[in-house]
Amino acid sequence: MSEQNKKVAIAFIEAMGKGDSVGIDAVLGPNAVAVAKGTSKFAGTRERDRVVGSTGDFKTLVPNGFNPVYNTVTAEGDRVVVEWEGRATLKNGKPYHNQYVMVFTLKDGKIAQLNEYFCSKLAEEALFPLVASGF
Amino acid sequence: MSEQNKKVVIEFIEAMSAGDVARATPCVAPNAKAVAMGKSKMSGERSRDQMLGTLGSFTQLMPTGLNPKFIAVMAEGDHVVAEFEGNAKLANGEPYCNEYAMVFTLKDGKITLLNEYFCTKLADTLYPVVQQLGLAAKASVS
């Protein structure tokens, strides 16, 4: 089960990286939530609809995708943890290389919860002004 | 092996919380290093000696400890990931409750690598306190 869960977690990150809402929708459970940890302006809980809806925004914000480079993938029971780095270029041409730990909890082969850890300082400094401007 | 690795990791985190170098030392392999990820003033790589040294001065920064509340601990192969919240109070009395994902790599039952993820924005608020106390810029836990 863990190997299949890993595939689902990686599929989520790949879909997110490409701004693929359909791909995201396919791997989320009915009541999925994503929780951006920390105290940045991005922090907080997002419901399923918002997770799917905001994925398409990445196409504009990060036109060439996140290009994830995977470090470690650790699965146990219902959880999969993926440690990865983004190799993105923002719409304004600036590089955006954040580092992520995503802790996925799966149920029946779909993502029920995602806890996201990343450099909140970089996210707020580089990404937030673009998001706030309505990109 | 994974269950034993988890015990080592939890022991290390609890030793860190208590600033107990003697307790942390046996958990850490000879060439271990720790990497605080991200762009905070605390970010960067620390050698084994720096890891243990800053761990020892940790209770100066957080006199009553980090008080980790574990959310989940996952292990597979040589890796253990601990997801936890700190419930600390700084030396100046301010609360400091960061959220952590720590990815450990172990070999022969000892920690060889620790990648630390936490809220870098919040961690930067520690920096003036660290400087005031004369501690190393790269605190053991930020």
The whole-number pLDDT of residue A126 equals 95
Of the two residues B140 and B126, the one the predictor is more confident about is B126
- Chain A interface mutation, best of B121, B122, B124, B142, highest count of A Cβ atoms under 10 Å: B121
Q: Do B120 and A121 touch (CB under 8 A)?
A: yes
A23 at B interface, C-beta within 8 A: no
B134 CB-contact burial (10 Å; exposed 0-12 / middle 13-18 / buried 19+): exposed
CA distance B102 to chain A (A): 9
Tell me the HSE value of B138 on the side-chain side, using a 13 A CA sphere: 19
pLDDT per residue rounded down to tens, chain A (135 residues): 689 999 999 999 999 999 999 999 999 999 999 999 999 999 999 999 999 999 989 889 999 999 999 999 999 999 999 999 999 999 999 999 999 999 999 999 999 999 999 999 999 999 999 998 888
Compute the distance between CA of residue A135 and CA of residue A64 in angstroms, rounded to an integer.
15
pLDDT of residue B136: 58
The model's pTM: 0.95
CA distance linking residue A130 with residue B40, whole number of Å: 21
Q: How many residues does chain A have?
A: 135
Asked if the C-beta of A21 comes within 8 angstroms of chain B's C-beta atoms, the answer is no
User: Above 90 in pLDDT, residue B130?
Assistant: no
pLDDT band at B57 (very low <50, low <70, confident <90, very high): confident
Instruction: Give yes or no for a contact between A114 and A104, defined as CB atoms under 8 angstroms apart.
Output: yes
CA pair distance A26, A12, nearest whole angstrom: 9
Other C-beta atoms closer than 10 Å to the C-beta of A22 total: 10
A37 to chain B: which residues are within 8 Å by CB? 99, 101, 119
